[in-house]
A and B are shown apart, each in its own frame.
Chain A
Amino acid sequence: MMRPVRAYYPILPVLIGYGILFGIGQMVPGKWQLISQLAFFCALGQAFNLFMGMTGYVDFGYVAFLGVGTYGMAVSIYYLFDKGLGLTMIVIGMILAAVFSTLLSLAVGAVALRLRGAYFAIATIGVNEGFRFLIEGARIWNGSDGMIFSRHMKTAFGRETAMALSMKWADVIVFGVAFLAAVMTLLYMRNKVGYALTALREDEDAAKVMGINVTRYKLIAFITSAILAGLLGASAWALKLTYVYPTDVFAIHYTVEAIIIVLLGGAGTLLGPIVGGLIYGVSKYYLAIVLPGFQLMIFAPIIIMIIVLFPEGTVGILKKRVFGTPLEKFII
């Protein structure tokens, strides 16, 4: 199955990119939160791209996977904090996050993956909203009261460790998830999964006739993407912020952010989400500082402009430019 090492060169720019980002965060004091926010955007885009970019299916309710992931970690800490499990609790939380998002993705997959285009987008919005109202309506996990577990973490790990967990290690996990998402993307691209996904993205009926079990490959990409989102929610939202409210973790604007990031960078490319995440994160951050209260008004027309005039995204354009040069094998 393994291809020559050369085929995996594009992971180098990814590694360099995240390495530089991580380095800045560690070396420049007082920028870690910004760096971790950027890493969150990159990871979000990377995980979303794994499904959306490769299959062409727009999951508008994608944030639900981050939501259940957040709940996975929250449930673990909230209910197990006094069992003396120590850091195993974090591991359990990550596993729960992965399990919850897998289960939800299987359920959504069974219903929605048969649908195409706009129908799929609407169905996934329906799953996201429906799930939130179920949590609120049936009072699951405290319903709309949510869970606040900063105290639980301090009780379980001690003040210093709890602080380090939410202010540092949660972000390190986000970096990990981002890199894992990139690795998975590249692995898929270079193996049968990727070719199957390319085929079904271009023409699903033709792909079926070519002997591709489209449901299976869609589901593989969907579940992978969902698990990554679940882990991201567990680290960036639960472990870092130590609280969860249903309205907050199922907010659709995170899906919109993911779409913007992927489009800015270039859908279906490996480097796109990183470039897109950086552009989006940095410009958002400085707009919030320079023009507080007006950034959405400035951002919205710029997004329209980019979609209409540069639909391939930054990396898409770059890819065309480096075609036939030695850089070709690094940029996909």
Chain B
Amino acid sequence: MSLLRVENVTKRFGGLVAVDDMSFEIRHGELMAIVGPNGAGKTTMFNLINGVFPADEGRIIFEDVDVTRYPAYKRAHLGIGRTFQIPRPFASATVRENIAIGGMFGAAGSEISVDRAMELADHYIDIIGLKEHRDKPAGGLTPVEKKLVEIARALAMKPRLLLMDEAMAGMNPKDIDEMVAFIREIRDTEGIAIVSMVEHIMRAVAGLAERVIVMHQGALLVDEPTQEALSDPRVIEVYLGQPPEEAHA
């Protein structure tokens, strides 16, 4: 049984077809990446999965529940977590409160008290290693720290599927490697499926994903294990005929 099934999903904005008849599956505990050049419809696909806006056609099924018409918060309750490309922590709240908010309202939301959520937050603060910033407003952190807070916030929701939007954008190679290692570690300890969205940084894909979906102009181009996808001629074609390794400039 798959964790998430996307069936023939289409989304239009006015005359523009942003996502065109996409179908794919995500399995439990899987590391996956959605790859594609700018404008390929990756972000739209993410937004459709976690319910920022509804799909025009098709169905989205999460653990046998048809969530196509569910609002975002209900999907979060079912176990779909999400981070943003530009980190968006709640600036005036402290790091601890930020993460606790994830715990309070996320998947296990209805049962968790404020105090329990705070304890949970402390646990994740240890994991991301920001203990010294615990009671500082999140607005004052560095971008990388914000990113970590955001991931911790999403993890506190106890999701079964975590969508990570361009987790590595704007990072230097050393940080990227650390982040990749961190994401793999999360998958192993939490046992959740993680879908990353990657635009350019192909060197990260190999470490980050066991399977790759490549999107092009809103449609599915390939859905293959990582190594095969990266050497697929169609994928190379999409990246202007250059080998993907060099396209990350």
Q: Interface stretch among A28-36, A74-82, A112-120, A193-201?
A: A193-201
Which one, A190, A207, A208, A213, contacts B114 given CB within 8 A?
Answer: A190
Interface code B56-83, partner A: CB below 8 Å = 1, 0 otherwise? 0000000000000001110011000110
Tell me which residues across on chain A come within 8 A of B76, comparing CB atoms. Answer: 208-212
* A contact residues around B77 at 8 Å (CB): 211
Q: Is B105 an interface residue (CB 8 A)?
A: yes
Q: Do most interface residues of chain A lie in helix, strand or loop, or is the interface mixed?
A: helix
Q: Which of B82, B90, B93, B157 has the most CB of A within 10 A?
A: B90
Q: Is the CB of A279 closer than 8 A to any CB of chain B?
A: no
Stretch among B37-45, B94-102, B197-205, B230-238 lining the A interface: B94-102
Residues of B within 8 A of A3 (CB): 114-115
Cross-chain contact B97 with A195 (CB below 8 angstroms): yes
The proximity string for A residues 206-249 relative to B, scoring 1 for CB distances below 8 Å and 0 otherwise, is 11111111100000000000000000000000000000000000
Shortest CB distance B110–A (Å): 10
Report if B50 contacts A (CB, 8 A): yes
Kindly identify, within residues 179 to 209 of chain A, every residue whose CB is under 8 Å from any CB belonging to chain B. Answer: 190-192, 195-196, 198-199, 201-203, 205-209
B50 — which chain A residues lie within 8 A by C-beta?
A: 209
B90 touches A211 (CB 8 A): no
Known A1-B113, A190-B114, A191-B114; judge A206-B90 contact (CB<8 A): yes
Residues on the B chain within 8 Å of A213, using CB: 71, 73
Task: Please name all residues of chain B whose beta carbon is closer than 8 Å to the beta carbon of A201 when the two chains form the complex.
Answer: 90, 92
Please give me the residue from chain A that is nearest to B76 by CB atom: A211
Given A198-B93, A202-B92 in contact, is the A211-B115 Cβ separation under 8 Å?
A: no
Check: B84 CB closer than 8 A to any chain A CB.
Answer: yes
- Interface presence of B32 (CB below 8 A): no
Residues of A within 8 A of B100 (CB): 195
Sort chain A's interface into a size bin: 20 to 34
- Known contacts A3-B114, A202-B90; A209/B52 CB under 8 A: yes
Using CB atoms, name the residue of chain A closest to B92.
A202
Say whether B157 contacts A210, CB under 8 Å: yes
Whether B71 pairs with A192 at a CB distance below 8 angstroms is no
Q: Note all chain B residues with C-beta closer than 8 A to A268.
A: 92
- Does B73 lie within 8 Å of A202, measured CB to CB? no
Mask, B156-177, CB within 8 Å of A = 1, is 0100000000000000000000
Cβ–Cβ contact A198 & B113, under 8 A: no
State whether A211 touches B114 (Cβ < 8 A): no
Nearest CB in chain B to that of A202: its residue: B90
User: A195 contacts B73, CB within 8 Å?
Assistant: no
Smallest beta-carbon distance A3→chain B, Å: 6
Interface residue? B153 (CB, 8 A): yes
Contacts of A202 in B (CB 8 A): 90-93
Nearest A residue to B90 via CB reads A202
CB distance from B11 to the nearest CB of A (A): 17
Residue B109, interface by CB 8 Å:
yes
B73 touches A214 (CB 8 A): yes
Inter-chain contacts of B82 with A (CB < 8 A)? 209
B152 lies within 8 A of chain A by Cβ: no
> CA of A209 to CA of B70 in the docked complex: distance in angstroms?
12
Instruction: Give the one of A3, A195, A205, A211 with max B CB within 10 A.
Output: A211
Question: Nearest A residue to B93 by beta-carbon distance?
Answer: A198
Q: Are B113 and A199 in contact (CB under 8 A)?
A: no
Q: How far is the CA of A154 from the CA of B101 in the complex (A)?
A: 54
A211 to B71, CA, bound (A): 9
> Which residues of B sit under 8 angstroms from A208, Cβ to Cβ?
51-52, 71-73, 76
Partner of B73, one of A1, A190, A192, A212: A212
Contact B92 A211 (CB under 8 A): no
Q: How far is the CB of B243 from chain A (nearest CB, A)?
A: 35
Interface on A for B, CB 8 Å cutoff?
1, 3, 190-192, 195-196, 198-199, 201-203, 205-214, 268
A196-B101, A199-B93, A208-B73 given; 12 more Cβ-contact pairs under 8 Å? A195-B97, A198-B90, A198-B92, A199-B105, A201-B92, A202-B90, A206-B90, A208-B52, A209-B82, A210-B76, A211-B107, A212-B76
CB<8 Å pairs between A and B, sample of 13 = A192-B105, A195-B104, A195-B105, A195-B114, A196-B101, A199-B90, A201-B90, A202-B93, A205-B52, A206-B88, A210-B101, A210-B105, A211-B73
Using a CB–CB distance below 8 Å, which chain B residues touch chain A? 50-52, 71-73, 76-77, 81-82, 84, 88, 90-93, 97, 100-102, 104-107, 109, 113-115, 153, 157
